[in-house]
Amino acid sequence: MRPPSLDESFGRQRVAAEERRARIRRVFAAVAPRYDLMNDLMSFGIHRLWKRTLARRVAEVAGRVADLAGGTGDIARLLRREDRLVLVCDPSLEMMKVGAGRTAPAPLAWVAGEAEALPFATGSLDLVTIGFGIRNVTRLAAALAEIHRVLKPGGRLACLEFSRPAWWLAPAYDLYSWLVIPRLGAAIARQPEAYQYLVESIRRFPDQREFAQRLEAAGFREVRWENLSFGIACLHFGTKEDA
């Protein structure tokens, strides 16, 4: 029997798309109060450097920006500037509630929505970003098609996601992922199952080259990637072709 694809899996289980969607929503509702703390602990704070790198790589883009799977708004806060309107879009109301409750120099705009059915008009965005969220969509191809739809001609996509580390780092990284992260989830977030899922979802997500091919299949041009921390995370970029 073939293993379940990304779109039909929850961890190691084969599930229907709607069941996958419901389970992922429950995961993020459960971990929302301690999600950012867990990210700091799991990555030793390095995820903040990765997100700052994303923000620097799109510094030249102004206009309307949507940060998908924006959660508590940490990436959106890095993107906010006077020449941008930055929207946080996430299906988890619990995650956005945590982010909206934090003090900040200026408020962000929060929009409920999922990547497969974005609440934005066709060709209305100059930039779409998504950090550590694309592997949690219910249907990857549909999500990429939606992102392509809402971008203006010439609009940019920047996607930050876990990926495949260099061969010499992979054994140690695998041990840390399987043995340490679920235990941190149990001790800090009190949700070991949720963090077991997150580890397994990373392993099922396409590697750098395959995800780049999926971006091209969705219509993106100028597709490229940039490994971070020897491939533990990866920045993927694509541009919607000019009309």
**Could you tell me the CATH number of the domain that includes residue 13?**
3.40.50.150
Assigned domain for 1 exists = no
Place of tokens 């080259």: 209
pTM: 0.90
* pLDDT tens, residue by residue, 157-201: 999 999 999 999 999 999 998 888 877 776 765 666 666 777 888
What total of structural domains would you count in the chain?
1
Assigned domain for 113 exists = yes
Assigned domain for 167 exists = yes
Q: How far apart are CA 25 and CA 137, in angstroms?
A: 10
- pLDDT over 90 for what percent of the chain? 65
* pLDDT tens, residue by residue, 50-101: 999 999 999 999 999 999 999 999 999 999 999 999 999 999 999 999 998 8
Going by C-alpha positions, the residue among 126, 165, 159, 155 that lies closest to residue 140 is 159
Assigned domain for 74 exists = yes
Residues of the domain holding 116: 6-240
How high is the mean pLDDT of the chain? 88
Evaluated on CA atoms 161, 165, 170, 173, the torsion sign reads: negative
Assigned domain for 198 exists = yes
pLDDT value at position 243? 67
Please name the residues in contact with 110: beta carbons below 8 A apart, sequence gap of 6 or more: 73, 87, 88, 90, 96, 99, 100
* Radius of gyration for the alpha carbons in the chain, expressed in angstroms and rounded: 17
CB 231 within 8 A of CB 166: yes
Does 242 score more than 90 pLDDT? no
- Residue with the bigger pLDDT between 168 and 242: it is 168
Residue 117 CB neighbour total at 10 angstroms: 10
- Residue with the bigger pLDDT between 103 and 77: it is 77
